[in-house]
Amino acid sequence: MHIIGPHTSIAKGVHNAAEEAARLGANGFGMFTKNQRQWHAKPLEQAQIRLFQESLERHGFKADGILVHDSYLINLAHGDEETWQKAVGAFIDEVERVEALSLKLLNFHPGAHLGLLDPPAALKRVASALDRAIEESAWAHLVIENTSGAGTTLGSSFEQLAQIIEYSRYPDRIGCCLDTCHAHAAGYDLSTIEGFETAIARFDALVGLDKLWGMHLNDAKSECGSRLDRHASLGHGTIGWATFDHIASDERFASIPLVLETVDQSLWEAEVARLRWGKDHGRAL
């Protein structure tokens, strides 16, 4: 059975992410472990951790089905040394929070070179940051998310994802999350099953499907190749339901979290139902 759920809120505590996901009929979910718009947060308290673990157990969630996302402020490709060190420190804190919750997967954006470095040097900078985090942690797996390619952001091509892993000294603990909206906006046409299969074959050839550790299932408001990161609800964008139905029925993706970051939360329950159980369970969409 595929692992499907939305990225849920921790506004009332980290355990709320599991509670909300269960209410929506999910068997996996995405989450932050702190306010994603702030650099610092208090360490997780034992009472918070206990509540979270109890929620996971009560609803049958497994650690492999939860995709944690780091702070949007962190730029591991920054060319300024002081700013980069600050970003690395914040990223290590994110890794420590994942392990404190006994989770496994930390999803992150590779960052932007901002014109301070050329792309190859910036990719090596990202890999160096990941190596630092791995050396200071026990088991967390670091999951690079592909990007739409706006501005100087890295990671819009599968070639760059592969390069980051290749540059690392610890490739066994680094994988990827494929965001469908980002891939489509970056120029991989996912609007048909054939287009999706062409893209996934390219990913397999360059990175390897064994390195696909999660997916973000988002439709796209913008056209293929637009470089615009604009998420849409499933079936309400330029990708369309055929591709998402295909992903949710493909056994190659059955063991990784497929996380919704779609824009209309009132549709999450119906989106989850259709993805988990088929078209007849998503009639409201």
pLDDT 10s digits, 45-71: 999 999 999 999 999 999 999 999 999
- Put residue 92 in one of left, alpha, beta given phi > 0 → left and psi -120 to 50 → alpha: alpha
Residue linked to tokens 């592909």: 146
- In order of 38, 212, 258, the CA distances from 202 in angstroms are 36, 13, 20
pLDDT 10s digits, 179-210: 999 999 999 999 999 999 999 999 999 999 99
Q: Smallest Cα–Cα separation from 208: which of 161, 139, 251? A: 161
pLDDT 10s digits, 84-132: 999 999 999 999 999 999 999 999 999 999 999 999 999 999 999 999 9
Phi and psi of 119, rounded to 5°? -55, -45
3-state DSSP assignment of residue 67:
strand
Spatial contact of 131 and 170, defined as CB atoms under 8 Å apart: yes
| Residues ≥6 apart with Cβ < 8 Å to 134 | 140, 142, 168, 170, 173, 174
Q: What is the DSSP letter of 172?
A: G
Q: How many C-beta atoms lie closer than 10 Å to residue 144's C-beta?
A: 28
pLDDT band for position 1 (cuts 50, 70, 90):
confident
The residues that are catalytic are: 37, 69, 72, 109, 145, 179, 182, 216, 229, 231, 261
3-state DSSP assignment of residue 155:
coil
CA–CA separation, 88 and 130 (whole Å): 8
* Chain mean pLDDT for the chain: 96
Question: For the whole model, what pTM was predicted?
Answer: 0.96
CA–CA separation, 126 and 113 (whole Å): 10
Spatial contact of 125 and 75, defined as CB atoms under 8 Å apart: no
Q: How many C-beta atoms lie closer than 10 Å to residue 272's C-beta?
A: 25
Asked whether the predicted pLDDT for residue 282 surpasses 60, the reply is: no
pLDDT band for position 38 (cuts 50, 70, 90):
confident
Tokens for 82, please give them. Answer: 């002081």
Q: What is the mean pLDDT of residues 245-266?
A: 98
Please tell me the CATH code under which domain 3-281 is placed: 3.20.20.150
